[in-house]
Amino acid sequence: MIHWKKSLNSWVIDNLEVVKELTPEKLAARDQMSARKRSKYANKLVDQWEREGTIAQLYRDFKGQLEAARDAQTSGRWERRRTQN
């Protein structure tokens, strides 16, 4: 599931670009913030995603990927055993 981590990171970056959070002006403004203020700012964005249902959807997607990977791994074991006998 390592690819999920990369995919999630890509999704977050893309989403931040869409909502104009990665403009040079916003980046410069956040660069001037203390670590505590940046953390509060990030938490507000995440809270917004949670209210909008984005976090729940991402979790459902992750859960589906995890189940698909488990199913593929399990079916592969049984198929190998059948062909070996």
Which pLDDT tens digits describe the chain residue by residue (85 residues)? 677 788 889 999 999 999 999 999 999 999 999 999 999 999 999 999 999 999 999 999 889 888 888 888 776 555 555 555 5
Give 9-12 contacts, CB < 8 A, sequence gap 24+.
11/58
Terminal-to-terminal C-alpha distance of the chain: 31
